[in-house]
Amino acid sequence: MSPRLALLVLLGLAVACGSSPKPAQRPPPAPGATAAAAPQPAAPAAATPKAPEKAPEWSYSSVGKRDPFRSYLTELSKQGGELATRCATPLGKFEIEQLKLVAVVTGLENPVAMVQAPNGVGYTLRRGVCIGKNGGTVAAVRSGEVVVTEWAIRADGTRDRTQTVIRLPREAAMNLEE
C-alpha cells in the first residue's frame, strides 16, 4: 500500500469517528543536542490555564406567580368581588336558557312572571331579582316576556352587558289571546 493511500485511510477513519486528527509530535531531542540547534516555539504567557469561572447559580421561585395551568378567569373572579357575580338564590343554579317562562301577570305596579326550572319547580320573578349562573338580574317584566341583563366576562377580562329575552311559548301566548 502506498503511503498516500494509507494517509487517506487514516484521515477517513479520523473523520468518521468524529475526532480531529492530532498534530504530529516531535521526537524528544537527543541528549547531546543544544537548544540553538532546535529552536522551540516560545509559549505565550497568556496561554496559562486559568481556573474556570463559576456561573452564578440560578433558581426559580413560583412565589407570587399565577399557576399557568389554571384558568385566568377563575383568578380574575377571586381577585375582584364585583366580578364574581353569582346568585345565591335557587335560580342561580340554572342557565337562563334552561328556564321556561310559564306565566306573566301585567297591569300591576310591579309585574310578576313565573318560570319553571328543569327540575319542575316554579319560581316567581319581579324586577331586580337575581337569576342565572352568570348573575343576571330581571330588567323588565313585559307582556309575554321577561328581559334579563347579564354581565359576561370575556377571555381578556373585559365585561360586556348582554340582554336575554325569555318569551312565553307560542301555545301559551295563543291561549291568552282567545
Quick check: is 148 in a domain? yes
Q: Cβ(155)–Cβ(72) under 8 Å?
A: yes
Q: What CA–CA distance (Å, rounded) separates 99 from 134?
A: 14
pLDDT of residue 33: 53
| Residue found under cell 354581565 | 151
Q: What CA–CA distance (Å, rounded) separates 102 from 167?
A: 9
Residue 100 has φ and ψ, to the nearest 5°, of -115, 125
Q: What CA–CA distance (Å, rounded) separates 118 from 25?
A: 92
Quick check: is 145 in a domain? yes
Q: Which CATH number is 142's domain given? A: 2.30.30.830
Supply the pTM of this predicted model.
0.49
Quick check: is 142 in a domain? yes
Model confidence band, residue 47 (pLDDT cutoffs 50, 70, 90): low
Quick check: is 11 in a domain? no
Model confidence band, residue 18 (pLDDT cutoffs 50, 70, 90): low
Q: Which of the two residues, 46 and 158, has the higher pLDDT score? A: 158
**How far, in Å, are 43, 44, 50 from residue 47 at the CA level?**
7, 6, 9
Q: Cβ(133)–Cβ(123) under 8 Å?
A: no
Quick check: is 96 in a domain? yes
pLDDT mean across residues, the chain: 77
Q: Which helix (H) or strand (E) holds 165?
A: strand 159-167
| Residue found under cell 500500500 | 1
Residue range of the domain that includes 114: 86-177
Quick check: is 5 in a domain? no
Q: Which of 26-30, 79-83, 98-102, 172-176 has the highest mean pLDDT?
A: 98-102
User: What is the share, in percent, of the chain residues with pLDDT greater than 70?
Assistant: 67
Number of domains in the chain: 1
Quick check: is 55 in a domain? no
Quick check: is 159 in a domain? yes
Is the predicted pLDDT of residue 177 greater than 90, yes or no? Answer: no
